[in-house]
Amino acid sequence: MAKKYDFLFKLLLIGDSGVGKTCLIIRFAEDNFNSTYISTIGIDFKVKTVEIEGKKVKLQVWDTAGQERFKTITTAYYRGAMGIILVYDITDEKSFENIQNWMKSIKENASAGVSRMLLGNKCDIEAKRKVASDVGEKLAKDHGIRFFETSAKSSINVEESFAALARDILMKASKKAGPSGREVRLTSTAPEKKTSKCLLL
Ligand SMILES: Nc1nc2c(ncn2[C@@H]2O[C@H](COP(=O)(O)OP(=O)(O)OP(=O)(O)O)[C@@H](O)[C@H]2O)c(=O)[nH]1
Ligand SMILES: *[C@@H]1O[C@H](CO)[C@@H](O)[C@H](O)[C@H]1NC(C)=O
Ligand SMILES: *[C@@H]1O[C@H](CO)[C@@H](O)[C@H](O)[C@H]1NC(C)=O
Ligand SMILES: [Mg+2]
């Protein structure tokens, strides 16, 4: 029987309640969106297999509750994550300011080599924007991580961002695996086009 996948990566989404973590995961895994807001209780996950560099990569995406009362439960899941996606809402300044606290949580509770990525979600509602693209980009740059503005609603940069993070993890994994033909091919093909912004109207 054919192997269903070559790699299994565990990803985790964190960020304030209401920024759109669950919607981003549902858009990514099921290509759906429902505006009815049901705040996540504790923790949940969805899986999706993507193809990267000719490899089948199964992504197990963990969804955490942003509410403070679930902090103890959710931080227990940081350790097992290979990638952590920090999400804020571009229309909610507080959610952006809180990114520094979420970064601190990662430092305290995640594995040392974890790959991180910053997403500014809800970029479909440009009229209500409170956090400029440049400001989000600068924060990501200061931490040396990727940045995308996304919309779970309009399906902007969702696949792209998840795939970029998965590719980063794949590169790291193949480097660690030691010298091999595959490693050479993987490390030499990194295209890295410029991070696309959510440019609307
Ligand atoms: N306009 C717009 N609304 C969005 C987007 N993503 C999420 N929303 C809305 O924002 C609200 C919160 O979305 P959720 O995905 O449930 O937020 P969450 O981060 O999972 O919140 P918690 O589970 O409480 O931590 C819902 O009403 C969504 O419909 C988006 O990209 N654009
Ligand atoms: C959205 O989700 C709510 C709550 O689960 C459900 O009642 C509603 O029918 C859904 N709407 C659509 C269009 O699927
Ligand atoms: C997360 O880190 C904090 C601070 O070091 C610690 O008190 C807490 O027990 C950790 N949580 C888990 C689940 O490891
Ligand atoms: Mg949620």
Q: State the pLDDT confidence band at 181, using cuts at 50, 70 and 90.
A: very low
pLDDT at residue 173, as a whole number: 84
Q: What's the one-letter identity of residue 117?
A: M
Residue 187: per-residue pLDDT: 36
| pLDDT tens digits, 7-27 | 999 999 999 999 999 999 999
Give 41-73 pLDDT, tens digit per residue.
Answer: 999 999 999 999 999 999 999 999 999 999 999
pLDDT attached to residue 179: 56
- 76 within ligand 3 shell (Cβ under 6 A): yes
Q: What is the 20 CA–ligand 4 centroid distance (Å)?
A: 7
pLDDT at 195: 46
Q: Read out DSSP for 24-72?
A: HHHHHHH-----------SEEEEEEEEEETTEEEEEEEEEE--SGGGHH
Asked if residue 182 has pLDDT above 60, the reply is no
pTM of the model: 0.91
- Amino acid letter, 10: K
pLDDT above 80 (res 132): yes
For the stretch 78-127, pLDDT in tens is 999 999 999 999 999 999 999 999 999 999 999 999 999 999 999 999 99
Say if CB 93 and CB 131 are below 8 A apart.
yes
The closest residue, in CA terms, to atom 5 on ligand 2 is: 36
Average pLDDT score over residue span 156-168: 97
Instruction: Give start and end residues of each alpha helix (H) in 52-197.
Output: 71-75, 93-97, 99-109, 133-143, 158-176, 181-188
Choosing from 35, 36, 39 the residue with most ligand 2 atoms within 8 A of its CB, the one to mutate for a pocket test is 36
Query: When comparing pLDDT for 85 and 191, which is higher?
Result: 85
pLDDT in the model for residue 201: 34
Tell me: pLDDT of 183 over 50: no
Q: How far apart are CA 155 and CA 149, in angstroms?
A: 11
pLDDT classification of 176: cutoffs 50, 70, 90: confident
Does residue 190 surpass a pLDDT of 90? no
The pLDDT value recorded for residue 198 is 65
pLDDT at 178: 58
- Distance from residue 76's CA to the centre of ligand 4 (Å): 17
